[in-house]
Amino acid sequence: MAEIVGAYFTSHVPAIGGAIHRGLQQDPYWKPFFDGFPPVQEWLAKVKPDVAIVFYNDHGLNFFLDKMPTFAVGAAAQYDNADEGWGLPLFKSFEGHLPLSWHIIESLVEDEFDITTCQKMLIDHALSIPFELAYPNADKWPTKLVPIAINTVQHPLPSAKRVLALGQAVNKAIQSWQGDERIVVIGTGGLSHQLDGERAGFINQDYDKFCMDNLSVDPAALTKDSVHEIVRLSGTQGVEILNWIGARGAMGEGVAAEIHRNYHIPISNTAAATMVLEPA
């Protein structure tokens, strides 16, 4: 039977890609952020996942405002990055896990989630940067990919409660999968940040702490607020916490241990956070 080895959560700011490209990991601005990743890298080297199920949001590279699925699941043999306009070098492609993608898609539809199935899917910084951080200097990503994109961009957004339920339904799909893969679940984005408007630069440390403290023990606490309230608390882009909530649901109910946590303000406009949880 497949095993969920744990969950890894991290922010996904594009500027991180530029810092990696320019080798700025020891630069005083970047060091406190990059110092949060050796424990993630060591943990991954120990648990050795061969598949990653990644909850993230597309930022306009694959979906634009003219077509915005609430939940989209990839079913492609390969996922490529393309120029997103941040001046970043192109990120490496991913090999898809097609049979697992289709199994998850069939199981989600059976459970009445009206998802969009994507047999072609470009992936952006929200997917690539967490891998660049987790596997620095890799020639090729060591895991196959099942991407799950959540609309955190164009309102109406799904509720946090619905996203947790989606994640739990993905967990149920994994439980009925016959393969023997070692699966890591990943949630990207957040924590509090707002890129635009009057509150540009908004950060809320108290709310971020609330999210990190409850993620393992009481994820339902993160679903009590409406998405509009979450935007108020965390910023227009802080609502990317939805991706963390989906991934938390997918790792299963019990958490044995919080393996690692790092929190650093700011990276660009973002309260940057990293966590690793192991399931019970």
Name the site residues for ligand DHB (rule: CB under 6 A). Answer: 12-15, 59, 189, 193, 195, 237, 240, 268-270
- Name the minimum Å distance from CB 163 to ligand DHB: 17
Residue from 97, 193, 260, 264 carrying the catalytic annotation: 193
Smaller CB distance to ligand DHB: residue 208 or 240? Answer: 240
- Among 97, 125, 260, 264, which one carries the catalytic annotation? 125
Catalytic-residue membership of 155 = no
Annotated catalytic residue 125: yes
Closest contact distance (angstroms) between CB of 154 and ligand DHB is 14
Q: Is 185 helix (H, G, I), strand (E, B) or coil?
A: strand
CA torsion sign for 43, 45, 49, 54 is positive
What single string gives the DSSP state of each residue in 189-219? --SSB--SSTTTT---HHHHHHHHHHHHH-G
Residue 111 CB, shortest distance to ligand DHB, in Å, is 29
Please state the φ and ψ torsions of residue 236, each to the nearest 5 degrees.
Answer: -60, -35
Residues whose CB is less than 8 angstroms from the CB of residue 110 and which lie 6 or more positions away in sequence, other chains included = none
Residue with token string 């952020």: 33
Q: Any idea what DSSP says for residue 221?
A: G
So which residues are the catalytic ones? 125, 193
